[in-house]
């Protein structure tokens, strides 16, 4: 019978990891082998989870931020009793397997978030810890701490080199997230080799400056040292903790351990055989003897933990039935029961508004109604709240001493803000939204992509959407950003032209539970458009006929946002010249693409080839709507610093140019 001491149990992780990577002939065995001893202590002694119910609301969250070491997590899930069979480990990195190269949210039970882009995992963990603290403040009652758990994360040197880790860890210290515990795998190795040539930061000093508790120089291969560090970490309720663990990458490999040679490549059959001898692991590939498997299995323990919590929850439900109902609704990610009334109130308000308003203000107007009706909305801005207008009259700032709020001041941290929002959405109980200028979406680009990749209901609010912001110049004037957003799979990008379209964007984003939305909003005032009831319904389809002519149109003008005004003005003049014109508003091209072919044909009949698209952004995206016979009035270069009206004239965003371009397209069609 095999020995089931801690090192042997950790060696089960090492063996599964090196075997799976070898079978796939691809992957990263070094980190799993190096962090196995830390993982064994955390998962077997401390982690509060239930493999039989991976979605138990009060489970601890575990994030493998250094996601390239995915076999560490897959080994832990398999050994603990999650629905991840040995055969799944054998399919590591294979098509449609439950064990992809990096942990992917939604593929495997127990994987809390997609990690791979370094630094974003720890950012998600900060979001989860913030969500836990805020949910606890909102729902716990004396004697009933129904939200009471930790967030644990593993990070490597790469995560800490990435700038996003500075953004989010600084904020975590400011917010005093005492239930966030991070293990730093301080092995001194990255892909290129020994990090002394490019990463010589005093990491403990850095985190102390963030107001973290730092436990330095922990032997990551000594279970007793790890236990002592964890006990110290959990004793500090005011500060997040960084546990700096000295480890050997590829621990157990006689010839490749401690070297970058085992970072991102299989050990090889001969080296694996030598490693088995060094670890005293005399078993065949993927073989886990029953006593070791039994010592690892956490199902009974997890079910007991959840049963105790469920008992407390039942008492809570009896004592506080209304609060319990709200807790249950929010953790199940359902909209409020009276959502239809809130929606109707917002649309009624939108119809009444008749004064010109900037669409960033239209968004805030919507929040005034939605904020009262959808309490799980949790807003924020990257130090631009007065410009983004992301605050409403009921906004209540979350602070270290006041977690019972609904608004976060993120500071100038666009990337960190967006990745933190992803963590909050994954955690549940909140629908996060956050604002910045459209231009500075670029800082957050990869986290926006991750919200789409993970199908999370995150709302990205981007204002100052074009050269219309004027004198700030090309550094602040977005050109290519709209295209970047629109070509991101599973992201709905809305560029509304008035209050009704802005309200529709918010409603659509909230009703969508399988992906994020982005709002592209103007600084300048825009006129309200009149619509029939039928047109109002079609706004939600992403593209619709806003203004039409009698009979079949000769020309279709397609526009979004601030350029709708140009299109309608030009259409009026063209009509006076005897030209039949249709104006199509396209606030969300992705939603329009989801509609039936018959609806798309109704709005944009294939036989009408004379088309002009108008938008203050890069031209290329719009050619799929206007075709090679149409024209696009857009921008294929960077802007200039000047008053907005001068820039609009310079770049051809004038009624006269739209008219002449439209007539030119019609003439070309006739020839």
158 is in an annotated binding site: yes
> By the 8 A CB rule, do 126 and 168 touch?
yes
402 assigned ligand-binding residue: no
Does 117 appear as a known binding residue?
A: yes
- Active site includes 414? yes
Q: Tell whether residue 472 is among the known ligand binding residues.
A: yes
Strand partners, 245: 185, 218
Residue 367's nearest CA partner among 506, 500, 523, 497 is 506
Q: Is 66 annotated as a binding residue?
A: no
Helix residue ranges, H only, 140-200: 157-161, 163-174
Q: Tell me if 476 is assigned to a ligand binding site.
A: yes
Does the annotation list 446 as a binding residue? no
Angle (deg, nearest 10), helices 339-352 and 499-511: 170
Residue 116 assigned as binding residue: yes
Alpha-carbon dihedral sign for residues 614, 617, 621, 627: positive
Q: Annotation-wise, does 257 bind a ligand? A: no
Residue 360 assigned as binding residue: yes
How far from 358 is each of 388, 472, 497, 542, CA to CA, in Å?
11, 18, 9, 20
157 has binding-site annotation:
yes
C-alpha 537/C-alpha 546 separation (Å) is 12
Contacting residues for 569 by C-beta, under 8 A, at least 6 apart? 655, 658
Of 623, 622, 310, 275, which is closest to residue 482 (Cα–Cα)? 622
Among 92, 47, 39, smallest CA distance to 70 is for: 92
671 assigned to a ligand binding site: no
Whether residue 187 is annotated as binding a ligand: the answer is yes
- 405 assigned ligand-binding residue: no
Q: Is 44 annotated as a binding residue?
A: no
CA distances from 505 to 377, 405, 492, 546, 622 (A): 15, 25, 9, 16, 20
257: which residues sit within 8 A by CB, 6+ positions away? 33, 248, 249, 250, 251
Strands (E), 285-356: none
Show the tokens assigned to 120. Answer: 């974003």
Tokens describing residue 225: 């040292």
Q: How many residues does the chain have?
A: 671
The answer to whether 63 touches 124, Cβ cutoff 8 Å, is yes
**Exposed, middle or buried, 526 (CB in 10 Å: 0-12/13-18/19+)?**
buried
Q: What is the bridge-based pairing of β-strands 193-194 and 213-219?
A: unpaired
**For residue 215, what are the contacts with CB-CB under 8 A and spacing of at least 6?**
229, 232, 233, 241, 242, 243, 244
- The total of other beta-carbon atoms located within 10 Å of residue 564's CB is 29
Catalytic residue among 414, 501, 538, 615: 414
Annotated binding site for thiamine diphosphate: 68, 116-118, 158, 187, 263, 440
Q: Which residues are catalytic?
A: 414
Annotated binding site for substrate: 28, 263, 360, 387, 464, 472, 476, 523
Annotated binding site: 28, 68, 116-118, 157-158, 187, 189, 263, 360, 387, 440, 464, 472, 476, 523
Annotated binding site for Mg(2+): 157, 187, 189
């Amino acid at each position: 019978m095999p020995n089931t001491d801690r090192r042997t149990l950790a060696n089960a992780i090492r063996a599964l990891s090196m075997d799976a990577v070898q079978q796939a002939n691809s992957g990263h065995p070094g980190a799993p082998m190096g962090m196995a001893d830390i993982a064994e202590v955390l998962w077997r002694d401390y982690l509060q989870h239930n493999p039989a119910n991976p979605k138990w609301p009060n489970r601890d969250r575990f994030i493998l931020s250094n996601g390239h070491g995915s076999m560490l997590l897959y080994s832990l899930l398999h050994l603990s009793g999650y629905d991840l069979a040995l055969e799944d480990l054998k399919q590591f990195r294979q098509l449609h397997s439950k064990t992809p190269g990096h942990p992917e949210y939604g593929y495997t039970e127990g994987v809390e978030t997609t990690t791979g882009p370094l630094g974003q995992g720890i950012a998600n963990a900060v979001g989860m810890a913030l969500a836990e603290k805020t949910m606890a403040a909102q729902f716990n009652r004396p004697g009933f701490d129904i939200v009471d758990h930790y967030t644990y994360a593993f990070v490597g040197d790469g995560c800490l080199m990435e700038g996003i880790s500075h953004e989010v860890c600084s904020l975590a210290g400011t917010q005093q997230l005492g239930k966030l515990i991070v293990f730093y795998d301080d092995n001194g190795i990255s892909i290129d080799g020994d990090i002394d040539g490019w990463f010589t930061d005093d990491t403990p000093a850095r985190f102390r400056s963030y107001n973290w508790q730092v436990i330095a120089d922990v032997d990551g291969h000594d279970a007793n040292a790890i236990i002592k560090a964890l006990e110290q970490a959990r004793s500090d309720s005011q500060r997040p903790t960084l546990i700096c663990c000295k480890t050997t990458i590829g621990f157990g490999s006689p010839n490749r351990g401690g070297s970058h040679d085992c970072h991102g490549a299989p050990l090889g059959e001969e080296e694996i055989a030598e490693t088995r001898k060094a670890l005293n692991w005399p078993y065949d590939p993927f073989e886990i003897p029953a006593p070791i498997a039994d010592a690892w299995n956490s199902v009974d323990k997890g079910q007991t933990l959840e049963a105790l919590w469920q008992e407390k929850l039942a008492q809570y439900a009896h004592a506080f039935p209304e609060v319990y109902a709200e807790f249950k609704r929010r953790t199940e990610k359902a909209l409020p029961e009276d959502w239809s009334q809130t929606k109707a109130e917002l649309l009624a308000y939108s119809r009444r508004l008749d004064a010109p308003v900037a669409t960033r203000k239209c968004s805030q107007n919507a929040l005034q109604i939605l904020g009262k009706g959808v309490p799980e909305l949790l807003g924020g801005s990257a130090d631009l709240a007065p410009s983004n207008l992301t605050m409403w009259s009921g906004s209540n700032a979350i602070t270290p001493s006041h977690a019972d709020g609904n608004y976060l001041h993120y500071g100038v941290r666009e990337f960190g803000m967006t990745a933190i929002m992803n963590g909050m959405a994954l955690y549940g109980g909140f629908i996060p939204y956050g604002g910045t200028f459209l231009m500075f979406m670029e800082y957050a680009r990869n986290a926006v992509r991750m919200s789409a990749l993970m199908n999370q209901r995150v709302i990205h609010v981007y204002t100052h959407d074009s050269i219309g912001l004027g004198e700030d110049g090309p550094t602040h004037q977005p050109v290519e950003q709209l295209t970047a957003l629109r070509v991101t799979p599973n992201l709905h990008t809305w560029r509304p032209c008035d209050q009704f379209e802005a309200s529709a964007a918010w409603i659509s984003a909230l009703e969508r539970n399988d992906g994020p939305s982005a709002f592209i909003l103007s600084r300048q005032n825009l006129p309200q458009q009149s619509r029939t009831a039928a047109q109002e319904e079609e706004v939600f389809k992403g593209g619709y006929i806003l203004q039409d002519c009698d009979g079949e149109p000769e020309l279709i003008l397609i526009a979004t946002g601030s350029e709708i005004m140009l299109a309608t003005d030009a259409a009026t003049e063209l009509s006076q010249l005897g030209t039949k014109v249709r104006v199509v508003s396209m606030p969300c091209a992705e939603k329009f693409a989801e509609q039936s072919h018959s609806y798309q044909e109704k709005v944009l009949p294939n036989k009408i080839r004379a088309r002009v698209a108008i938008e203050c952004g890069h031209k290329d995206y719009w050619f799929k709507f206007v075709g090679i016979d149409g024209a696009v009035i857009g921008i294929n270069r960077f802007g200039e610093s000047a008053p907005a009206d001068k820039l609009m004239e310079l770049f051809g965003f004038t009624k006269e140019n739209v008219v002449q371009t439209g007539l030119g397209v019609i003439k070309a069609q006739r020839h």
